[in-house]
Structure 1
Amino acid sequence: MPAYNADAFIEQSIISVLAQSYTNWQLIVIDDGSTDGTAAIVKQYQKKDNRITYHFQNNQGLGAARNTGFKLVKGQWIAFLDADDLWLENKLQVQMATAINSNADVVFTSGYYLDKANVKPYESLTGNYNGHALYKILLNHNHIAILSVCIKKALADNLGAMDTNLLVFGNEDWDYWLRACKFNAVFIGLKDKLFKYRVHDKGISANTQRMLMGSYYLICKNYDSSLLNNQEQRYQQFKLLTAIPFILKSMFKWSGNKPKNDFAALVFKILAASFPVLPAFSYNLFKSRFNKTAILNNCLTDVGP
């Protein structure tokens, strides 16, 4: 459980873990440099239950906090919960039963959005997937909520640390699932609704521009033409090329050389990955009068040289 200035919600999150019908768990709270009452709340519960571990580190970001948690895990499975979200009481029990009775490397579920007092369904994928098949689906959208996931520690060890690059902002989990897909891990999606994802103004997902940038970064990073047919390759390449103006605009908003170098490197990687379709893209760019939707539609109908 990564936490940064989370005293508004972290107590409810901890209580949702304590309420689990499956009791063989270890809760690792990584305090990522909080300056509010987060530490006091966690330590209060730590005194009452020795299954809770508290670890403080200087602020390094969400991915780095989860990576610290990986190093402290003692069990064979890893589950994720942010400090503002909730698990339903049978969440771990249902997933562990599935894990034990299958060859799954990753088990995930559906759940609910929690927006103040309003609750609405958060639908995910259901069924069994091999990683290479799921890759094509996840490359277009992250359908797997991180608080729903239980991942085999052996797989996490093979995948290594979560990405901590500045550009991945808020998409560390999506990047991790794509890496697991490329590893051809076995995913099982359950129809059970077993979590509540809290929507609020201070949540990372509220920063839509940074999240969008992160999506372009991780798609380019995880692009693997060997897992896509020709039309799928062309679509992803066109999509990345249409992102370049947004990336360049974002680059000039940042101060300091390091972030700007990362933005520039991303543009060059996109151009390299999409080089085979540059003539067709240029043709469609002018034909569609720079309309992004029209460009992507044209790429699917093979319009252009």
Structure 2
Amino acid sequence: MEQRKIFSVIVPVYNVETFLHQCIDSILKQTFTNFELLLINDGSSDSSAAICLAYQKNDDRIKLINQENGGASSARNNGIHHATGDYLIFVDSDDFLDSDDLFYELSQTIQKHNADVVLYGGKNYNVSSNNYSISRGNYDLTIIKSFSLIQTFEYLIQKKLFPGSAWVYTTKAKLIKENGIFFRTKIIAEDIDWNTKIFGCVSSIDAVNDLYYVYRKNQVNSVTGNAGVKGINSILLIIEDWLPKLEIENKPVNSFLLHNLAYYYFTILVLYSAISADDKIKLKQRLKNCFVVTKYSRTVNLKVLRFFCQLLGIPLTSAIVSKLYYLKERYI
């Protein structure tokens, strides 16, 4: 009888021939080997599909699934449908794992506590500056391993460690499938929506502390670099959909999820200053309508930003915030 897999590692693949070997190799060399690797070829037009096929022929843990191009969310959803492991791990195909022991450490933590979600640390690799920086990590395990959900949420929010991406934690597959959780398609901020769904359902959170994951920032063709109007529309759509649901449902964790939406509202300010005057006019009313979410801000920084938006208005605050953001990205 085939051994049940502990992890299903889901990797959407689309035209990443330059980085794909590093990504796949970093997964296959994990010291803990009881996992399956699902490579979801999302209609690649370069040699990515051939690279995936070559790996599949040499390692029976790999499943190659080909689909017509539908975007990262569609590919991740396809991976969820085919996954058989107890926990799901998402890795973007232009990123890589920086430790051979991530899966081992996760498996040990899961064996002890069986949490719904296990967080781990990560680094950003800035392609432009060739520098690494800590993305998240150094969790206070004393707080997290107390398994007080509210205390953990408060800690993650205050320390700016609340997950922003699907690849910074592993999730129990049963939680995902029983709650019918899938990635929203046709938007570019799908992880915001996904995290809201996941953390609205969890009953326990655990963590391991090393910096295991490397996120490749500032690529020429990255979504982040070309977000603009589409990025703003995606975030506003998520806020418009989730705000009334979270406000009406009386769950203690919702105040933290609303804070997280407020955080992403303020990230719009970075994008807003760079779009055209016509697009600003088109988005003005929606921005005004969604500003109400900022009243749920729980950190000092967001409360200050809310004050300046009320005092100076969104356009001027946006110009200031975006200037500071790009200075930080350039020199840090």
Whether the TM-score (by the shorter chain) exceeds 0.5 is: yes
Structure 1 unaligned regions, length at least 5: 254-259, 275-283, 296-305
Q: How is 1:196-207 mapped onto 2 (pairs within 5 angstroms)? A: 196-199=214-217, 200-207=219-226
Partner of 1:164: 184
Partner of 1:26: 36
Partner of 2:205: 187
Matched, 1:80 2:90: yes
Q: For 2:196, which of 169, 175, 178 is the aligned residue?
A: 178
Q: CA distance change for structure 1 residues 36 and 111 in 2, over 3 Å: closer, same or farther?
A: same
Contact 1:131 1:180 in 2 (8 A): no
Structure 2 unaligned regions, length at least 5: 1-10, 295-306, 319-332
Number of positions where the alignment pairs a residue of Structure 1 with one of Structure 2: 277
Task: Give me the identity figure in percent.
Answer: 22
Shift of 1:181: 1.9
Q: What are the superposed Cα offsets for residues 9-68 of structure 1, whole Å, 9 maximum, x if unpaired?
A: 111111011110010110001111111100110111111001111111111111111000
Partner of 2:109: 98
Q: CA distance change for structure 1 residues 287 and 156 in 2, over 3 Å: closer, same or farther?
A: closer
Secondary structure at 1:288 match in 2: helix
Distance across 1 between alignment mates of 2:190 and 2:262: 22
Q: CA distance change for structure 1 residues 74 and 265 in 2, over 3 Å: closer, same or farther?
A: farther
Q: CA distance change for structure 1 residues 130 and 9 in 2, over 3 Å: closer, same or farther?
A: farther
Q: What are the superposed Cα offsets for residues 110-154 of structure 1, whole Å, 9 maximum, x if unpaired?
A: 122223443222224724266556667669885344333211001
Q: What are the superposed Cα offsets for residues 246-294 of structure 1, whole Å, 9 maximum, x if unpaired?
A: 5xx88976xxxxxx9xx899779848989xxxxxxxxx99973525788
Q: Could you state the TM-score of these two structures normalised by the residue count of structure 1?
A: 0.73
Q: What are the superposed Cα offsets for residues 56-91 of structure 1, whole Å, 9 maximum, x if unpaired?
A: 111111111100000111111111111111112111
Q: Could you state the TM-score of these two structures normalised by the residue count of structure 2?
A: 0.68
Contact 1:79 1:149 in 2 (8 A): yes
Contact 1:77 1:150 in 2 (8 A): yes
Secondary structure at 2:113 match in 1: coil
Contact 1:125 1:189 in 2 (8 A): no
Secondary structure at 1:20 match in 2: coil
Secondary structure at 2:35 match in 1: coil
Contact 1:110 1:124 in 2 (8 A): yes
Residue type of the partner of 1:182?
G
Distance across 2 between alignment mates of 1:221 and 1:99: 33
Residue type of the partner of 2:131?
N
Matched, 1:121 2:121: no
Partner of 2:19: 9
Contact 1:28 1:55 in 2 (8 A): yes
Distance across 1 between alignment mates of 2:106 and 2:131: 26
- Give the RMSD, CA atoms, in angstroms: 4.3
Q: What are the superposed Cα offsets for residues 148-175 of structure 1, whole Å, 9 maximum, x if unpaired?
A: 32110011113324333434x1x32232
Distance across 2 between alignment mates of 1:165 and 1:73: 19
Of the structure 1 ranges 95-104 and 173-182, higher mean CA displacement relative to structure 2 is found in 173-182
Shift of 1:193: 1.0
Contact 1:16 1:86 in 2 (8 A): yes
Contact 1:135 1:182 in 2 (8 A): no
Contact 2:121 2:135 in 1 (8 A): yes
Residue type of the partner of 2:242?
N
